[in-house]
């Protein structure tokens, strides 16, 4: 086993959040160390995170109502890197996350992929409302509170277009839900309604209320809309979604099976809820809102349907998601890995989770069926799209068992159309080194990447960075769901 000493290693991370209303950036430094004893399997972990730079809050650059101004975003990011005193090539990990209504723009996927490709050595593209909620919960302090207190904490991250809810109990993820609740869903100009979003239009139609462009911003109907949003949020936090909530529900209903005890609000609207907005000057010199955000915040703060929970102030409000993206998305693989350096970095590999059921019975059949299902999911037309095979529920393996698994993987992956791409296998436990070496020894003509000590689910995507000095690789597990 290769010796891994206990010297500290540092890597630079960036988080970029391109949201409905605002865009922001954070640069961090991770400290890595082997936390295992000298006689144990090495375990390299992130033991400290230091925030090096937080950008101002910028209005998200849009070319028009349906298109992100990509050159303006690139100019903003490069300007902030310069102010942070950091070069793009120094960024070794981190994430670009596109959130809220911005993820629905026609060039959203192009934007986030280009920025991840050009914004650093290993800056990954992320999207999807469930992931947004989880990242914001970690950036706001909700996750840490649940871990330290053992309580069930719901983080509600409310921006311009969506409210992303993530629930944690004693540090364990319990579920998510995303709602069309946000400050920019009704926009104003000159004291009158300028634009009404589609979800609010559907709510108005369902309730039989009338609101139209040109109406005054103090219309009683705006108050009815914010009341309805608060009532929906109250029901969702209770774990229930009724027919009256349908216009405001984005995706699946609440999927946690525990009772929420504490609530924490983050995101731009939370600045108004906690009365912090006057302290946050935007890039244009002040906090000026031409939307329903202030009215929504006041309703949420005072509405009786939200009074039953214990309210906790966040560590971060409007920057919760960007801090989570920059400091909480990266994991470190085990030190007992087998990778070919020239094949890295790899990005956007879909994951197929294959459970071995804690037994070695019928392993070959399980692997063949798993690979066939993975190909049907990720490369149905046999165009050569690669994927990562994730082995979970792995039993204690003897040498013979590892050889059998390696042979089965090699034989099953002969079905892949492109035999020039590397074989990528991940595992929960410390088998990557021996499995990778077994794959190579059994004549794998392709490159082999085996990593371990990580947990992944079907539907996730895997990004693997270059090998660090300590012999480990940074890993980001993410989703890439651009909702419409």
d(CA 312, CA 412): 51
For residue 220, the SS3 value is helix
Calculate the alpha carbon distances from 388 to 337, 474, 482 in Å.
15, 16, 21
The predicted-structure confidence for 19-57, as pLDDT tens digits, reads as follows 888 898 989 888 877 665 554 555 666 777 888 999 998
Residue with tokens 């809810």: 165
The predicted-structure confidence for 353-409, as pLDDT tens digits, reads as follows 888 888 888 889 999 999 998 888 888 888 888 999 999 888 888 889 999 999 999
DSSP 8-state assignment for residue 375: H
pLDDT at 315 over 50: yes
Is the peptide bond prior to 345 cis by the omega test (within 30 degrees of 0)? yes
Element (DSSP H or E) covering residue 97: strand 91-98
Percentage above 70 pLDDT, the chain:
86
d(CA 132, CA 112): 14
pLDDT confidence of 261, banded at 50, 70, 90?
very high
- In this predicted structure, what is the pLDDT of residue 311? 97
Element (DSSP H or E) covering residue 377: helix 363-378
Ordered by where they begin, the domains of the chain are 9-127+325-331 (3.30.420.40), 142-314 (3.30.420), 346-464 (no CATH)
Beta bridge partners of 31: 10, 48
d(CA 113, CA 108): 9
d(CA 374, CA 349): 12
Residue with tokens 């006057």: 278
d(CA 169, CA 22): 30
pLDDT at 2 over 60: no
Give CA angle at 305 (301, 308), nearest 5°: 90
Element (DSSP H or E) covering residue 195: strand 192-196
d(CA 351, CA 457): 7
DSSP letter string, 9-70: EEEEEEEEEE-SSEEEEEEEEEEEEE-S-TTS---EEEEEEEEEEEPPPEEPPEEETTEE-H
d(CA 181, CA 396): 48
Q: Which of 126-130, 231-235, 286-290 has the lowest mean pLDDT?
A: 286-290
Element (DSSP H or E) covering residue 174: strand 172-179
Take residue 122 and report the two structure tokens written for it. Answer: 């290993």
Give the residue among 203, 222, 205 at the shortest CA–CA distance from 213: 222
The predicted-structure confidence for 202-218, as pLDDT tens digits, reads as follows 999 999 999 999 999 98
Take residue 280 and report the two structure tokens written for it. Answer: 């946050």
For residue 450, the SS3 value is strand
For residue 273, the SS3 value is helix
Element (DSSP H or E) covering residue 381: none
d(CA 277, CA 287): 7
């Amino acid at each position: 086993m290769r010796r891994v000493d206990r010297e500290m290693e540092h890597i630079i991370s960036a988080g970029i959040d391109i949201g409905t209303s605002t865009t922001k950036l954070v640069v961090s430094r991770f400290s890595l160390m082997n936390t295992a004893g000298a006689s144990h399997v090495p375990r390299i972990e992130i033991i400290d995170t230091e925030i090096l730079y937080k950008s101002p809050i910028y209005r998200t650059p849009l070319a028009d109502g349906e298109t992100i101004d990509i050159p303006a975003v690139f100019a903003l990011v490069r300007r902030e890197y310069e102010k942070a005193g950091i070069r793009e090539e120094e960024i070794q990990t981190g994430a670009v996350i596109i959130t809220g209504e911005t993820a629905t723009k026609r060039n959203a996927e192009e934007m986030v992929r280009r920025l991840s490709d050009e914004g650093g050595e290993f800056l990954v593209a992320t999207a999807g409302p469930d992931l947004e909620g989880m990242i914001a919960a970690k950036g706001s302090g909700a996750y840490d509170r649940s871990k330290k207190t053992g309580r069930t904490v719901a983080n509600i991250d409310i921006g311009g277009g969506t409210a992303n809810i993530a629930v944690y109990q004693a540090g364990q993820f319990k579920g998510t839900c995303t709602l069309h609740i946000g400050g920019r869903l009704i926009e104003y100009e000159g004291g009158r309604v300028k634009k009404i979003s589609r979800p609010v239009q559907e709510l108005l139609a369902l309730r039989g209320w009338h609101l139209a462009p040109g109406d005054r911003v103090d219309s009683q109907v705006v108050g009815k809309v914010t009341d309805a949003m608060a009532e929906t949020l109250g029901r969702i936090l209770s774990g229930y979604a009724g027919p009256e909530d349908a216009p405001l529900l984005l995706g699946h209903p609440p999927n946690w099976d525990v009772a929420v005890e504490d609530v924490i609000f983050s995101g731009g609207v939370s600045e108004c809820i906690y009365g912090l907005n006057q302290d946050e000057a935007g890039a244009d010199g002040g906090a000026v809102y031409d939307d329903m955000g202030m009215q929504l915040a006041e309703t949420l703060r005072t509405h009786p349907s939200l009074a039953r929970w214990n309210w906790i102030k966040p560590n971060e409000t409007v920057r919760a998601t960007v801090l989570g993206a920059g400091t909480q998305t990266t994991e470190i693989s085990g030190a007992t890995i087998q990778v070919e350096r020239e094949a890295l970095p790899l990005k956007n590999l879909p994951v197929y989770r294959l459970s071995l059921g804690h037994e070695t019975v019928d392993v070959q059949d399980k692997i063949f069926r798993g690979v066939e299902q993975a190909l049907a999911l990720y490369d149905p037309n046999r165009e050569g799209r690669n994927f990562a095979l994730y082995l979970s529920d792995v039993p204690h393996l003897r040498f013979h068992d590892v050889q059998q698994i390696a042979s089965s993987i090699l034989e099953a992956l002969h079905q892949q159309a492109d035999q020039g791409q590397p074989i990528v296998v991940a595992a929960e436990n410390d088998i990557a080194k021996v499995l990778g070496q077994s794959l190579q020894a059994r004549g794998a003509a392709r490159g082999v990447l085996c990593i371990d000590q990580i947990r992944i689910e079907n539907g996730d995507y895997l990004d693997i960075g270059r090998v660090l000095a300590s012999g480990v690789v940074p890993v980001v597990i993410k989703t890439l769901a651009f909702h419409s």
